[in-house]
Amino acid sequence: MPSQGILSINEVNALPVENFEWLFGNVIEHCVEAASIIATKRPFFTSKDLKKAFDDYLEKLNTTEKESVLSRHPDLAGKLAEEGKLTAESLNEQKLAGLDAMTKDEKQILSNNNYLYREKFRFPFIICARENKVKSILVGLESRLKNSKEVEIKTAIEEVKKICRIRINDLVWPDVQ
């Protein structure tokens, strides 16, 4: 079921910068600087415009900056999850994907492939967990291990955009049609 948000776009536009940064500082995982930049682009006429501003922010980053954004994401069902140190958003997303209820074999496969992925690409595997379940995550991870680094950066950034849009949906009312 789609989220209904908590604020109208007009309320988003009226937020003091500090409140905007606090509210939107994790729509891209641990990336308050994105929220700081996007705050300066107000007013937005629709939530779609707000989402596009975050998409554009990600697109305009150079390769090193994109890798930095990707590196801020946690491993799926990794150490941070085991230690209870995920952000509230990541915890909820991983739980909705069923990562907290994996079998022992699934956990081992995910752990092994997370390791191989991080070794190859130097950032964690990122997939929009709210659009996937355990099986599709495992298949996606195995498949994406075959990508070049260039392709994987592009693919992972597209997944970050999906995550960001869903997180914005959690915060902002849908546009009136």
pLDDT tens track for 58-69: 999 999 999 999
> For the segment 75-99, what is each residue's pLDDT rounded down to a tens digit?
999 888 888 888 999 999 999 999 9
DSSP code of residue 172: B
Active site positions, annotated: 73
Q: Across residues 17-28, what is the average pLDDT?
A: 98
> For the segment 125-167, what is each residue's pLDDT rounded down to a tens digit?
999 999 999 999 999 999 999 999 999 999 999 999 999 999 9
| pTM flag (> 0.75) | yes
- Quick one: residue 104, left, alpha or beta (phi over 0 = left, psi -120 to 50 = alpha)? alpha
Instruction: Verify cis geometry, omega within 30 degrees of 0, for the bond prior to 16.
Output: no
* pLDDT computed for residue 1 by the predictor: 43
How many CB atoms are located within 10 Å of the residue 2 CB?
Answer: 8
Structural domains of the chain ordered from first start:
1-172 (1.10.3330.10)
Look at 74-78, 106-110, 165-169 and tell me which has the smallest mean pLDDT.
Answer: 74-78
* pLDDT computed for residue 4 by the predictor: 82
Query: Are the C-beta atoms of residues 7 and 171 closer than 8 Å to each other?
Result: yes
* pLDDT computed for residue 173 by the predictor: 95
d(CA 48, CA 2): 15
